């Protein structure tokens, strides 16, 4: 936008002398200059004119009755400091000139008789100084105005950024809740399938997420591991039932290969869901061996940390439930069997977390287990809550309300027995303990 043009300023020069002929001569000398010329025959008259007009340059004769030029210019210096002050003096007035310089703080002096060109030059010098001061003041004012506007803009911008940040956080929270809901629904769909063991998935998920917490993985990584555990057998939906019904060691070679190919099936199923990319990677590489002899021949740290942890949690429960060999193992025997494959099949660092634990059953993972009637509003669910068919009722992290508690009490009455509801303790535990 174009700034409006300022109107041209008319500059005013005041000449003071008690002699009328001098005033007339000055009027003739300055006739060609584009100025407003004021004439005064006394110091009092000069001050009167200055009170009524904005005077930019004042030239005063030194010797005048009643009020000398030095006295006049002293008053001008006090009351109109921005005015350019010039004294007109004769050769014999050296003392008076010095007095004027000291009292009137004059900028220039002219000697009588003056040269018209020199007079014009002095007036022009005075006007130029006034113009520079005026421009400087204008620029200072403009700078202050622009700085104020800039502060206002910055404040407004900061407010917009803060508002937008809040909106983004709210949107991300909404997306996060949506993603969690989709993953929970996905697990429920899988659990309904009679050929997939929902209880097994729950045990794997809880153990894997616990190991991830002890390993001090990032919060998001722990979350991804927990979700991957819940749907670790998603790929079985695309395989023939007979290929995975029998214990793994009893399957024929091709059937074993078909079973291991479930990770490819899972990756295909999850491919459209970009939000589940991390979860998909954990599931896809869960059958990799630490020494590179796995399904995709990935070695050690090439395998995602979540996949290395999931493999340990998954095989532990496969051994305990008899899904690996057809014979159920005790937790101790399962650990001893897995120890044989330290740093070959399993990541030794993560495996040690399991081997050092005395008990890893989900009932031992959290210390506080309550019935629905014992719950209080504001408590946080520390572990996914499932019904007898392994269908997810409430997700981990749910904060109980009075309405939710009443619904669970009603479910318990219909069920005929109480739930074992795991509640978040005061502080998180970093070890698996009894």
Q: 3-state DSSP helix/strand/coil percent for the chain, to nearest 5?
A: 55, 10, 35
pLDDT band at 411 (very low <50, low <70, confident <90, very high): confident
- Alpha-helical (H) ranges within 238-387 are 253-260, 262-270, 277-284, 305-320, 331-339, 348-355
**390 Cβ partners below 8 Å, 6+ apart?**
191, 197, 198, 199, 201, 202
* Residue-wise pLDDT tens digits, 257-298: 878 888 888 788 777 777 778 888 888 888 889 898 877 788
Asked whether residue 84 is assigned to any structural domain, the reply reads: yes
430 and 284, same structural domain? no
DSSP 196-238: S-HHHHHHHHHHHHHHHHHTT--HHHHHHHHHHHHTTTGGGGG
* Residue 269 and residue 342 share a domain: yes
Of the listed ranges 94-108, 265-279, 388-402, the one predicted with least confidence: 94-108
Q: Does one domain contain both 345 and 312? A: yes
Cβ atoms < 10 Å from Cβ of 346: 24
What does the pLDDT look like over 134-174, one tens digit per residue? 888 888 888 888 888 888 777 777 777 677 667 656 655 65
The three-state secondary structure class of 6 is coil
Say if CB 231 and CB 266 are below 8 A apart: yes
Which helix (H) or strand (E) covers residue 244, if one does?
A: none
Determine, yes or no, domain membership for 126: yes
Position 3 scores a pLDDT of 46
Mean pLDDT check: name the lowest of 73-82, 90-99, 208-217, 251-260: 90-99
CA–CA distance from 231 to each of 31, 208, 235, 310, 431 (Å)?
100, 12, 9, 11, 25
Q: Extract the tokens encoding 133.
A: 């001061």
Quote the CA–CA distance of 434 and 428 in Å, as a whole number: 15
Structure confidence at residue 188 as a pLDDT band (50, 70, 90): low
316 confidence band (pLDDT: 50, 70, 90)? very high
> Do both 350 and 210 map to the same domain?
yes
Instruction: Identify the pLDDT of residue 360.
Output: 57
Q: Answer yes or no: do 216 and 308 share one domain.
A: yes
Please report the pLDDT score of residue 58 as a whole number. 94
What is the distance between the alpha carbons of residues 204 and 311, in angstroms, rounded to a whole number? 9
pLDDT beyond 80 at 15: yes
Strand partners, 394: 385
Token look-up 């739930």 returns 419
Same structural domain, 92 and 31: yes
Q: Please check whether residues 349 and 375 belong to one and the same domain.
A: no
Listed residues 365, 395, 426: the one ending a domain? 365
CA 134 to each of CA 6, 76, 140, 141, 142: distance values in angstroms, whole numbers, following the listed order: 13, 18, 10, 10, 12
Domain-embedded: residue 293: yes
Dihedral angle, C-alpha 134, 135, 136, 139, nearest 10 °: 130
Domain that holds residue 254: 193-365
For residue 28, is it within any domain?
A: yes
Mean pLDDT computed over 403-430: 74
Number of H helices, E strands in the chain: 14, 9
Here the CATH number for the domain that contains residue 405 is 3.90.105
- 266 in the same domain as 287: yes
pLDDT at 427: 44
Question: Does the residue 7 lie in any domain?
Answer: no
Q: Of 343, 365, 387, at which residue does a domain stop?
A: 365
| Same domain as 373, residue 310 | no
Give the contacts of 193 (CB within 8 A, at least 6 positions apart).
237
Predicted confidence at residue 97, as pLDDT, reads 66
Q: Which of 336, 365, 394 is at the close of a domain?
A: 365
Percent of the chain with pLDDT over 90: 18
Which of 196-205, 239-248, 311-320: highest mean pLDDT? 311-320
CATH number at residue 68: 3.40.50.2300
Contact 259, 244 (CB under 8 A): yes
Residue given tokens 């004021």 in the structure block: 38
> What 3-state DSSP class applies to 123?
helix
Is residue 150 a part of any domain in this protein?
A: no
Domains: count for the chain: 3
Mean pLDDT, to the nearest integer, of 232-253? Answer: 74
Residues 278 and 402 both lie in one domain = no
61 in the same domain as 80? yes
Tell me, yes or no, whether 357 and 373 share the same domain: no
Mean pLDDT over 313-320 rounds to 91
CATH of the domain at 334: 1.10.3210.10
The answer as to whether 187 is a domain residue is no
Q: Residues 90, 111: contact at Cβ < 8 Å?
A: yes
Residue 257: inside a domain? yes
């Amino acid at each position: 936008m174009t700034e409006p043009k300022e109107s041209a300023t008319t500059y005013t020069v005041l000449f003071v002398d008690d002699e009328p002929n001098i005033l007339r001569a000055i009027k003739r000398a300055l006739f060609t200059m584009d100025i407003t010329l004021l004439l005064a025959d006394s110091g009092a008259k000069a001050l009167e004119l200055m009170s009524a007009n904005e005077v930019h340059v004042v030239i005063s004769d030194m010797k005048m009755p009643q009020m000398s030029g030095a006295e006049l210019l002293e008053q001008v210096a006090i009351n109109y400091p921005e005015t350019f002050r010039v004294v007109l003096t004769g050769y014999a007035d050296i003392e008076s000139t010095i007095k004027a310089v000291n009292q009137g703080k004059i900028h220039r002096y002219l000697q009588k008789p003056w040269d018209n060109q020199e007079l014009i030059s002095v007036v022009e010098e005075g006007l130029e100084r006034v113009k520079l001061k005026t421009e400087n003041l204008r620029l200072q004012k403009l700078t202050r105005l622009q700085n104020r506007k800039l502060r206002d803009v910055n404040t407004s911008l900061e407010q917009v950024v803060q508002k937008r940040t809040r909106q983004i956080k709210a949107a991300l929270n909404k997306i996060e809740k949506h993603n969690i809901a989709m993953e929970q629904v996905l697990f429920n769909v899988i659990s309904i399938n009679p050929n997939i063991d929902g209880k097994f998935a729950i045990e794997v998920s809880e153990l894997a997420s616990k190991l991830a917490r002890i390993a001090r993985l990032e919060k998001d990584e722990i979350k991804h591991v927990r979700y991957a555990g819940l749907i670790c057998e998603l790929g079985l939906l695309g395989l023939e039932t007979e290929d995975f019904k029998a214990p793994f060691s009893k399957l024929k070679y091709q059937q074993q290969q078909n079973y291991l190919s479930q990770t490819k099936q899972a990756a295909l199923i999850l491919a459209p869901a970009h939000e589940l990319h991390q979860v998909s990677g954990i599931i896809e590489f869960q059958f990799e061996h630490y020494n590179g002899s796995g399904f995709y021949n990935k070695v050690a740290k090439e395998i995602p940390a979540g996949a290395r942890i999931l493999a340990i949690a998954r095989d532990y429960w496969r051994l305990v439930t008899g899904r690996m060999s057809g014979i159920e193992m005790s937790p101790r025997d399962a650990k001893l069997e897995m120890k044989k494959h330290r740093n070959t099949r399993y990541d030794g660092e993560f495996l040690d977390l399991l081997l050092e634990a005395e008990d890893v059953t989900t009932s031992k993972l959290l210390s506080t287990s309550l019935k629905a009637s014992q719950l209080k509003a504001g408590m946080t669910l520390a572990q996914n809550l499932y019904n007898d068919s392994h269908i997810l009722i409430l997700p981990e992290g749910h904060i109980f309300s009075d309405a939710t508690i009443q619904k669970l009490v009603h479910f318990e009455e219909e069920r005929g027995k109480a739930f074992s509801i795991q509640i978040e303790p005061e502080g998180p535990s970093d070890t698996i303990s009894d």
